[in-house]
């Protein structure tokens, strides 16, 4: 009786009708969705859930990005419609709803990229119906700016480290005017520079009074921050009170400095030292000439008499390896499994007075790339380790001894040599290969024997450095016989140029 009275109320009857109607509608939609599949108007197309490089700044160590979808996708339709602008050749791999795109070569610096995807469809497991077309996607990222540093030679830049952003066309002086910089290296992230310098006005005597410092560049996570004063902050790393500081090298992880030091009161106390942040400098008790820290930051390659020794970065350590054939190490591949070395052919009567360039790897391969009567000045591997760029000289015919300097590219696999450009002079040239492997920096130092100028910057021979031209060499992207390298002078005056990592 009570139930009957309730149902007689108008509002109650309306509520019951609405509940029943919505129940029928929901049931119809659920059943219809299963039957109509892709044609149902309530279904949204697939979407990109995440793009790993979205709004990121990437460098030559970043080799793959990941796109994650909100549902399983038809792989062929995704791969067909994926567009990267500018193009970055690479390979696609899948793991469920995740697509990984691995680029073939290090990403070119100084560019902004778009990743576009549309018209791709989802994948159904239980039906043969065509999947829903995805919502269009556009993602953006950028590579690091093309930037470099050099030691200036004129005006307010003289003897100071100058940072120049090629992409943004922006220049700034990093070190103070009272210091004359002799040499420097970027830290791996490019946020700081390690450099040796002496007080201004010492001339050639400044080479015996070098201290070690760091300076901030204003670069943070690969991006130059121009909105604050983070650049130009100096910190002293090592004094010159007891020891004279000579050449140095910075490990690839930025944690270890190795440098050559001589006791001022006892020149026989001549050794290599390690400097690590938070620790006291430590003598390695290793004798030798030129040295370089291996790419894994765990060992040291040292020229020792008639050969190259590979030693752990520990005091009085026993050599891990010794290569008696070679007298000079030029460069390691980035992964450290191979190196470019020079054999001076002193033990080969047939090749005497020549030099040979070798590719040497950790599998025992020693591959001769070049035998020359000229000089092998410097070589640097590309980021992939598959090519080697070298500054060489060719001995010219004639009664007078004369060498013609030139750049060449070596293909490690085929041994093919490609001449790139000839130069008129090669005094004190330093080369630096860009982190993307696409451009070479080098300098041409201008010197003077005028004693009145020796209070300024000097080289190791005591000559005053009065100027320097900086050049950019861009090798051709392909091996077409008609392709030529592009050689251009930069609007900068200085020497010892180095690329920002």
Cβ pair 438, 110 in contact under 8 A: no
- Residue 435 phi/psi, 5-degree rounding, is -65, -20
Tell me the per-residue pLDDT of 166-180, one tens digit each, with 9 for 90 and over.
Answer: 999 999 999 999 999
Tell me the per-residue pLDDT of 312-352, one tens digit each, with 9 for 90 and over.
Answer: 998 877 888 889 999 999 999 999 999 999 999 887 777 77
Of 196, 190, 140, 251, nearest to 434 by C-alpha is 190
**pLDDT score for 72:** 93
DSSP 458: B
**pLDDT band at residue 14 using 50, 70 and 90 as cut-offs:** low
**pLDDT band at residue 301 using 50, 70 and 90 as cut-offs:** very high
> Regarding predicted confidence, which is higher, 155 or 37?
155
Cβ pair 149, 184 in contact under 8 A: yes
Of 164, 131, 111, 153, nearest to 441 by C-alpha is 164
What's the rounded mean pLDDT across residues 11-20? 61
| The two structure tokens encoding residue 254 | 């930025």
**pLDDT score for 5:** 38
Distances (CA, A) of 423 to 276, 370, 406, 408, 445: 40, 19, 6, 12, 13
| The two structure tokens encoding residue 46 | 């697939």
155: left (phi over 0), alpha (psi -120 to 50) or beta: left
The pTM (predicted TM-score) of the whole model is 0.86
Residue 140 has pLDDT above 90, yes or no: yes
**Count of Cβ atoms closer than 10 Å to residue 214 Cβ:** 18
Of 359, 356, 362, nearest to 386 by C-alpha is 359
- Residue 117 phi/psi, 5-degree rounding, is -150, 125
**pLDDT score for 3:** 42
Cβ pair 388, 382 in contact under 8 A: yes
Bridge partners (DSSP) of residue 173 are: 162
**pLDDT score for 124:** 73
Number of C-alpha atoms within 13 angstroms, CB side, residue 383?
18
> Regarding predicted confidence, which is higher, 34 or 64?
64
**pLDDT score for 41:** 43
Exposed, middle or buried: residue 425 (CB in 10 Å: 0-12, 13-18, 19+)? exposed
* Chain CA centroid to CA 229, Å: 25
Mark 8-25 as b/e (b = at least 16 C-beta within 10 Å): eeeeeeeeeeeeeeeeee
- How do strand 57-58 and strand 137-143 relate by DSSP bridges? parallel
Integer Cα distance of 300 and 480 in angstroms: 39
What's the rounded mean pLDDT across residues 473-490? 83
Integer Cα distance of 222 and 60 in angstroms: 11
* Chain CA centroid to CA 455, Å: 36
**pLDDT band at residue 9 using 50, 70 and 90 as cut-offs:** low
Tell me the per-residue pLDDT of 57-103, one tens digit each, with 9 for 90 and over.
Answer: 999 999 999 999 999 999 999 999 999 999 999 999 999 999 999 99
- Residue 65 phi/psi, 5-degree rounding, is -115, 160
Four-residue CA torsion sign, 354, 355, 359, 363: positive
**pLDDT score for 305:** 74
3-state SS assignment for residue 452: helix
**pLDDT band at residue 402 using 50, 70 and 90 as cut-offs:** confident
**pLDDT score for 223:** 82
What's the rounded mean pLDDT across residues 246-269? 94
Omega before residue 156 within 30° of 0, cis: no
Integer Cα distance of 378 and 146 in angstroms: 23
What's the rounded mean pLDDT across residues 417-421? 94
- How do strand 219-220 and strand 48-51 relate by DSSP bridges? unpaired
> 495: part of which helix (H) or strand (E)?
strand 486-499
Integer Cα distance of 286 and 423 in angstroms: 38
**pLDDT score for 482:** 67
**pLDDT score for 19:** 66
Residue 480 has pLDDT above 70, yes or no: no
Of 175, 140, 172, 171, nearest to 160 by C-alpha is 175
Tell me the per-residue pLDDT of 291-300, one tens digit each, with 9 for 90 and over.
Answer: 999 999 999 9
Contacts of 82 (CB under 8 A, 6+ apart): 92, 99, 101, 115, 116, 117, 120
Integer Cα distance of 467 and 66 in angstroms: 48
> Regarding predicted confidence, which is higher, 406 or 27?
406
Residue 162 has pLDDT above 50, yes or no: yes
Residue 117 has pLDDT above 50, yes or no: yes
Integer Cα distance of 320 and 294 in angstroms: 12
**pLDDT score for 144:** 95
Integer Cα distance of 313 and 487 in angstroms: 40
* Chain CA centroid to CA 28, Å: 60
**pLDDT score for 202:** 85
pLDDT mean across residues, the chain: 88
């Amino acid at each position: 009786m009570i139930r009957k009275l309730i149902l007689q109320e108008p509002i109650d009857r309306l509520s019951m009708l609405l509940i029943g109607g919505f129940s029928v509608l929901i049931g119809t939609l659920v059943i219809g969705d299963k039957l109509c599949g892709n044609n149902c108007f309530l279904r949204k197309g697939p979407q990109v859930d995440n793009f790993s490089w979205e709004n990121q700044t990437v460098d030559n160590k970043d080799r793959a990005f990941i796109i994650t979808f909100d549902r399983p996708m038809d792989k062929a339709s995704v791969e067909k419609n994926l567009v990267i602008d500018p193009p970055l050749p690479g390979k696609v791999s899948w793991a469920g709803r995740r697509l990984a795109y691995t680029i073939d070569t290090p990403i070119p610096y100084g560019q902004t990229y778009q990743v576009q995807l549309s018209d791709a469809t989802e994948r159904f497991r239980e039906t043969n119906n065509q999947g829903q077309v995805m919502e269009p996607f556009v993602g953006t990222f950028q590579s690091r700016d093309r930037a470099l540093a050099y030691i200036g030679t004129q005006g307010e830049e003289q003897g100071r480290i100058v940072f120049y952003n090629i992409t943004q066309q922006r220049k700034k002086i990093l070190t103070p005017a009272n210091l004359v910089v002799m040499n420097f290296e970027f830290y791996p992230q490019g946020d700081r520079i390690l450099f040796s310098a002496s007080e201004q006005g010492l001339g050639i005597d400044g080479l015996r009074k070098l201290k070690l410092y760091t300076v901030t560049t204003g670069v943070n996570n690969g991006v130059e921050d121009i909105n604050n004063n983070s650049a130009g902050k100096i910190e002293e790393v090592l004094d010159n009170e007891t020891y004279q500081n000579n050449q140095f090298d910075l490990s690839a992880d930025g944690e270890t400095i190795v440098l050559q030091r001589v006791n001022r009161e006892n020149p026989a106390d001549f050794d290599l030292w390690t400097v690590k942040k938070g620790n006291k400098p430590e003598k390695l008790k290793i004798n030798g000439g030129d040295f370089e820290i291996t790419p894994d930051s765990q060992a040291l390659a040292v020229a020792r008499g008639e050969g190259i020794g590979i030693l752990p970065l520990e005091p009085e350590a026993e050599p891990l390896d010794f290569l008696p054939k070679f007298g000079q190490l030029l460069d390691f591949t980035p992964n450290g499994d191979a190196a470019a070395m020079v054999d001076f052919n002193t033990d080969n009567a047939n090749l005497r007075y020549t030099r040979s360039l070798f590719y040497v790897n950790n599998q025992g391969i020693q591959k001769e790339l070049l035998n020359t009567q000229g000089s092998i000045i410097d070589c640097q591997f590309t980021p992939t380790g598959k090519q080697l760029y070298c500054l060489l000289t060719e001995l010219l015919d004639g009664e007078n001894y004369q060498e013609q300097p030139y750049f060449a590219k070596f293909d490690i696999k085929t041994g093919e040599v490609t001449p790139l450009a000839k130069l008129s002079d090669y005094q004190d040239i330093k080369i630096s290969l860009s982190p993307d492997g696409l451009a070479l920096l080098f300098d041409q130092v201008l010197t003077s024997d005028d004693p009145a100028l020796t209070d300024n910057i000097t080289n190791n021979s005591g000559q005053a450095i009065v100027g320097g031209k900086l050049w950019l060499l861009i090798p051709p992207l392909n091996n077409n016989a008609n392709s030529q390298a592009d050689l251009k002078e930069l609007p900068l005056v200085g020497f010892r140029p180095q690329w920002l990592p």
